[in-house]
Amino acid sequence: MDGRVLVDIARPGADNMAIDQRMLETAAETGRLLLRVYRWREPTLSLGYFQKYLEFQEYVQQTSRSASPSVPVVRRATGGGAIVHHHDWTYSIAVPPAAGQTSKGLATGPAQKLYDCIHAEIALWLTEIGYAARLWDVSDESDRCPPKAGCSFLCFERRSRGDIVVGNTKVLGSAQRRHQGAVLQHGSLLLQRSEFAPSLSGLQEIAENPTVFAQDLGSALAQRISRSVDAYLPGEPTAVQALEELGIGDFAGIGQFSDHNWLTCR
Amino acid sequence: MSAQPHKPEDLKYNPSHEWVGVSEQDGQRIATVGITAFAIEQLTDLVYMALPDVGAAVKAGEEFGEVESVKAVSPLYSPVDGEVIEVHTELVDALETLGDDPYGNGWIMRVKLADGANLDGLLDFANYTQQCSES
């Protein structure tokens, strides 16, 4: 596999989204798999691509959190609900278009395939460090979330097939965007409750575990995600130390995520 | 707005699963565009759709809209060059129509073909079907 992996520094929300977008474009252009794990420089709320900005405003009003208006907001290019990025690790993986039998189906098959592929490995890892993690499944129609009938604003208050849950607590969800045959998937692993989303528990509220805040947690997460796609794109990805080595040092040219018009386009 | 269903065998296809059928109306070539039953099955539960504006220029191979399903945003690529003259706006609040009648009432947009526009680069039904069987 021609793949590269980066455990990145914490960056502002708009930069994180621009980098993810650039990863997707680069995967489509070069056929290279790119994986990045990262954190957010400050608590930030990311809206799903089709969510209305009005929903965010209503959320702020309903939660009546005096600190909320100061939380930066970005709109993702991927689907799903809103996420408060505070005490979480985020991963993003850009899978290139099908390039032979070994990669067949990951980028071009149903979206659920890539969710399941990566989530299964992360759930296994969480189990190994002491959490009874499993993939949530839709057991009956009533468990689904019809989007027109008042879906929760926050992603982690929703349930989708393949989400990682521990007991009744969702700890990881992901979303995708496709582009010229490539696919970007990114997701957040919730480590701890945030005062900006007090209804949501993280791993630390489920069971205190020093591993969760270990210095190398990001590296461990990246390693397990690399392992998950190995069956489709064999070969260990090359670890790099900087965005330039991912081939996306030019992400600053993607200005949409800093653009207020993009944020409020719906 | 209802529409006569197209026969899949008579249509042309993008490799990215958009279909197109062309007819003559008042001396102009008008393309009707939709997405295939195969694509809809792969997408599973569609929840959102973004459509182009009437009057927008579209180019073959470039994005003209988007759909979201299972938290995945997927672009829709135009199979033709031209100007959008009609958009099936009712679809946005009735996305199940895409799956119920993908080649008829699930049409997405109608395009006045640009001068010289052709469908030469598109797949015919047999080749498209083969592509789907191999994926």
pLDDT, tens digit, 9 for 90 and up, residues A195-237: 989 899 999 999 888 877 887 899 999 999 999 988 777 778 8
Region B41-58: mean pLDDT is 94
Chain B residue with minimum CA distance to A80: B71
Read off the pLDDT of residues A136-171 as tens digits, 9 standing for 90 and up: 987 644 444 544 445 799 999 999 999 999 998 999
Report the candidate in A102, A116, A129, A236 with the shortest Cα–Cα distance to residue A172.
Answer: A116
Region A24-52: mean pLDDT is 95
* Cα first-last separation, chain B: 33
Cβ <8 Å between A161 and B72: no
SS3 A194: strand
Q: Is the pLDDT of residue B1 over 80?
A: no
In a 13 Å sphere around the CA of A228, the CA atoms on its Cβ side amount to 23
| Chain A residue numbers touching B71 (CB-CB < 8 A) | 48, 78-80, 111, 160, 173-176
ipTM: 0.89
Chain A residue with minimum CA distance to B49: A50
Average pLDDT of chain B, as a whole number: 93
Read off the pLDDT of residues B17-26 as tens digits, 9 standing for 90 and up: 999 999 998 9
Cβ contacts of B82 within 8 Å, gap of 6 or more: B31, B57, B58, B111, B112, B113, B114, B117
